[in-house]
Chains A and B, each alone.
Chain A
Amino acid sequence: MSLKYKSIILFLTVITLLTSCEKLFFTPEISSDPVTTFEYLWDKVDQQYAYFDVKNVDWDEVYSRYSPNIQADLSNDSLFFYLGSMLNELKDGHVNLFSEFNISRFDISKLGPKNIDYRFIQDHYLGTDYYITGPFRHDFIENGQVAYVRYASFSDLFSDENMLYIFNRYKDTEGMILDLRQNGGGYMMNIFKLLSYFTLFEDAIYTTCIKSGPGYDEFTEQEEIYATHYDTVLHYNKPIAVLIDRGSYSATSMFSLATLALDNLFLVGDTTGGGLGMPNGGQLPNGWTYRFSITRTLTPDGLNYENGIPPDYYAILDSSDMQQGYDTVIETALSIILNP
């Protein structure tokens, strides 16, 4: 090979090695300073948060109030305090800021009383020999007339065998109490799976839509969601009281919303915490991460219960009832089931 061709190939090699740099084509790296981080987060929420109207928050006013506090030399602690406080203006349990040293949150359950004392239920209703089947704590109450089933978290998975055992055991009862108080939510799939044991209802149980643009009212078309996603062989068709409180959040609120469309399920207790939107997450220029809701869920007739689903029968734990050994919420449910 002549020196000429060797030179050409070596020249190409050098050119390749020198030019194989993606920086020439990529967008410049973003600054991680506090001002850029603040602006980025405010802008993301402004464009993608789904509930400004329901929360009645003027996000521009929030910007005006917080931006003067954000300086280039702000410490991480202070920046986190301001960003977390800004997000908490949304009063939404699905909104968080995550850093290595703290997590900002708005505790929806504090908007109402904790409407359950599980130790009290054990002492006065279940005793010590109640059954534990999968994630469910359950037993007969009220002289065997009613089934009490406690489901503490929609994050807890359950099997068909779990449900079949429970429904076979209580098939001769007059009704069931499904206690979802302080159930903070979990997996969406558990909503549909649990519902499928309670109903053969084939109409839409709620509708959902997703942000489709930066405007506050830019959403996709409402999409109908149906309950019958699982082939369940056994259904419980007797009255079912679903016990709720402000700590019944997210997936539990979704389940409660679905009961509005079902005839044999009714809600007893306090208004739920809401949280019907699906939170997505992202990362800020300084590396912290965030989440907030970008979908909205409505009843089939278009009602928005993001701030909480009210009970069909309002009941709050009463200390004088408890002194007599009664859980006010359970007693309310029992009286409705046994005296239809």
Chain B
Amino acid sequence: MKILKLILFLLLGSILLSATETDTSYTNGQFLCSGIGSGFGSYKDMGTSPLLYRGISGILVFGCLSESAERTWEYRMNTNYFGGFINPNYTLGYFSEEIQLSYLHTIPVFSRSDIFFKAGGRLSTSVAGAFNPAYENASFNIDLFASMSAQAQITYVFERPEKKLKRHTIPKTQYAAFYNIDLPVLLFNARPKFSYVPDGSGILFDKHYFLGGFRMQNKIGIRLFLPNGNAMDITYLWKMFTSGAKDIYRLETASHNLQLSYYFKLD
């Protein structure tokens, strides 16, 4: 986790220090995106264990992005996986499939030609499943979550001038550095009831439903624009979730992923 942060910090810092102001029009457009990332995570479900499982996480992303100076629309499908361990004897697998729809609107008073401050919201729904063979009839569980959150993003668009090395010349490159924070407004959760097993007729998803908990997502990264109009970015993505005090058995998850994405320009 610290290594991921250090890599991104050095990368972002070195690029920013060599930045100059530039035209920002190339950042606009419609993009199809796909990405992959990996890192570290943690998981605790008090219904089955009071212990925090730590392990490796991975993420696959597909989506589309519509970006302009005034607004940003984004639709994403995230597939997350976490494999955790207590010791070599106890292993846990956790996956989630998440659909996100985000809208951000530029706030002119805080923005200028190369800096955009945007605010908006995100709707998200996800299904998450956990498997731990040590828990007998409680080995497998599926949860459902939906959330509405407030979102803010600051984007700084810049270019690095052409750089001549001894044998090579690195051409002028255009970048957008961004920081995005996502805080919950409303969270809906469907989690296991008191006894945490399928009922007698085999209904696996017998749940209690409640509003509450806390969810946070922090994303910081830098996007590189290629001469053909496509783009790619590297992002550090931190997500955490706790189902909160209203849950019968609190669920707590977190992941830290370093993610590489590629954007195909559509227009």
Contact = CB atoms under 8 A, between A and B. Distances in A.
Are A and B co-members of a single complex?
yes
Interface of A: 1, 5-6, 8-10, 12-14, 16-17, 19-20, 22, 25-27, 29-30, 40, 48, 98, 100, 188, 207-214, 218, 220, 223, 225, 278-285, 287, 289, 291, 294-295, 297
B260 interface: no
B154 A281 contact: no
A13 B220 contact: yes
B13 A13 contact: yes
Contact of A1 (B19, B50, B87, B202): B19
A210 B114 CA distance: 61
A208 B154 CA distance: 56
A30 B195 contact: no
A278 B137 contact: yes
Interface stretch (B96-104, B143-151, B249-257): B249-257
26 contacts: A1-B114, A1-B156, A5-B156, A12-B179, A13-B179, A16-B218, A17-B5, A22-B252, A22-B254, A25-B214, A25-B252, A30-B50, A48-B194, A48-B195, A98-B134, A208-B201, A209-B200, A210-B199, A212-B194, A223-B201, A281-B138, A285-B50, A287-B86, A287-B87, A289-B135, A295-B197
A27 B50 CA distance: 10
Interface string B183-224: 000000000011111011110000000000010101010000
Contacts of A209: 200
B194 A213 contact: yes
B135 A210 contact: no
B59 interface: no
User: Which of A210, A225, A283 has the largest number of chain B CB atoms within 10 A?
Assistant: A283
A29 B114 CA distance: 45
B195 A212 contact: yes
B135 A26 contact: no
Interface residues of B, number: 57
B122 interface: no
A202 B101 CA distance: 48
A225 B90 contact: no
B49 to A, nearest CB: 4
B17 A13 contact: no
B81 interface: no
A6 B89 CA distance: 48
User: Which of B86, B87, B139, B220 has the largest number of chain A CB atoms within 10 A?
Assistant: B220
B140 to A, nearest CB: 11
Interface in B162-200: 177, 179, 193-197, 199-200
B195 A283 contact: no
A283 B51 contact: yes
Nearest to B112: A5
Interface of B: 5, 8-9, 12-13, 16-17, 19-21, 42, 44, 46-52, 86-87, 89-90, 114-115, 134-139, 154, 156, 158, 177, 179, 193-197, 199-202, 214, 216, 218, 220, 236, 238, 240, 242, 250, 252, 254, 256
A26 B252 contact: yes
A145 to B, nearest CB: 39
Q: Which label, helix, strand, loop or mixed, suits the secondary structure of the A interface?
A: mixed
A282 to B, nearest CB: 5
Given A6-B19, A20-B238, A26-B252, A281 B137 contact: yes
Contacts of A278: 137, 197, 200
B200 A208 contact: yes
A279 B137 contact: yes
Nearest to B136: A281
A100 B86 CA distance: 13
Nearest to B238: A20
A9 B197 contact: no
Given A223-B200, A285-B51, A297-B200, A20 B218 contact: yes
Contacts of B139: 281
Contacts of A20: 5, 218, 236, 238, 256
B242 A225 contact: no
A295 B114 CA distance: 63
Given A281-B138, A287-B51, A294 B218 contact: no
Nearest to A297: B200
